[in-house]
Amino acid sequence: MKKRTILDEAQISRSLTRMSHEILERNKGTEGLVFLGVRTRGEFLADRLQQKVEEIDGVTIPTGTIDITAYRDDKVTDTEALEEAIDIDIPLDDRHVIIVDDVLYTGRTIRAAMDAILNHVRPSKISLAVLIDRGHRELPIRADYVGKNIPTAREEKINVYLEEHDNANEVVISE
Ligand SMILES: O=P(O)(O)OC[C@H]1O[C@H](OP(=O)(O)OP(=O)(O)O)[C@H](O)[C@@H]1O
Ligand SMILES: O=c1cc[nH]c(=O)[nH]1
C-alpha cells in the first residue's frame, strides 16, 4: 500500500489558524458561537480551534463534544445513549453551533451529529468545520470551513493523526 503525507504538523497548524480567522471574520467575532467536536479526533481539533481563536481574539468559545455512535443510521440504540451524546456545560439553545470533525466523506457522520443536536436543543444555526474534505458525499451536506480539500478515489483512505491521540501530527493518504 502506498502512503503519502498530505499535511504535516506545520500545515495542520496553519490550516487551523486560517479556519479560526475565517470563523471570526464571517461571524463578526465570537458572539453566540459554540464548538462541538465529533469524537474522537474532532474533539481535539475543536480544542485547537478554541485555543487559536483565544490567541487571536482573546475570547474562549465554549467547547464540548458530540458522540454520534448512538445516532448512526446503521444502529439501533437505547434512549440513554441518545440522551448522553452531547457533552457541554452550557445550554445550546439560540447558539450558533459549529460542528468540528477531522474528515468529511459521505456526510453520514455529520447527518448523525445534526440529529443528535436537534434531538436535544434548538440552536440558532449549525455550521461545519472539517480539517479534510475528501469528497464522495452521499447526502446534501457541505462544510463551511475547510482545512484542505483533497480529491480522492473511493478506495483511498485518509488518516488524520493528532498528538493528543496518536502521538503524531500528520494527515496521510493511503492508495
Ligand atoms: O462523512 P463520513 O462518511 O461519515 O466519514 C467521516 C467520518 O469518518 C471518520 O470516522 P470513522 O468512522 O472512520 O472513525 P474514527 O473517527 O474512529 O476514525 C471521521 O473521523 C469522520 O468522523
Ligand atoms: O478516508 C476516510 C473516510 C472516512 N473517514 C476517515 O477518517 N477517512
Q: In the prediction, which pLDDT does 77 show?
A: 65
Q: In the prediction, which pLDDT does 72 show?
A: 76
What are the angstrom distances between the C-alpha of 166 and each of 16, 43, 44, 78, 161? 18, 13, 11, 31, 5
The answer as to CATH 1.20.1240.10 being correct for domain 3-174 is no
Which has the closest alpha carbon to 99: 60, 59, 68, 135? 68
Which has the closest alpha carbon to 134: 75, 175, 73? 175
- What cell does 46 get? 475543536
Q: Which atom of ligand 2 is least distant from the CA of 106?
A: 4
Ligand 1 centroid to residue 41 C-alpha, Å: 9
What are the angstrom distances between the C-alpha of 133 and each of 18, 27, 54, 150, 164? 15, 22, 25, 6, 21
- Could you tell me if the CB of 131 is within 6 A of ligand 2? no
Q: In the prediction, which pLDDT does 175 show?
A: 87
* pTM of the complete model: 0.95
Ligand 1 centroid to residue 103 C-alpha, Å: 6
Q: In the prediction, which pLDDT does 120 show?
A: 81
Q: In the prediction, which pLDDT does 76 show?
A: 64
For the chain, domain boundaries: 3-174
Ligand 2 centroid to residue 155 C-alpha, Å: 10
- Could you tell me if the CB of 157 is within 6 A of ligand 2? yes
Q: Provide Rg for the chain, Cα atoms.
A: 16
Q: Which ligand is nearest to the CA of 39?
A: 1
- The answer to whether the CB of 172 falls within 8 A of the CB of 159 is yes
Per-residue pLDDT of the chain (175 residues; tens, 9 = 90+): 899 999 999 999 999 999 999 999 999 999 999 999 999 999 999 999 999 999 999 999 999 999 998 887 666 666 666 678 899 999 999 999 999 999 999 999 999 999 999 988 999 999 999 999 999 999 999 999 999 999 999 999 999 999 999 999 999 999 8
Q: How many CB atoms lie within 10 A of CB 153?
A: 11
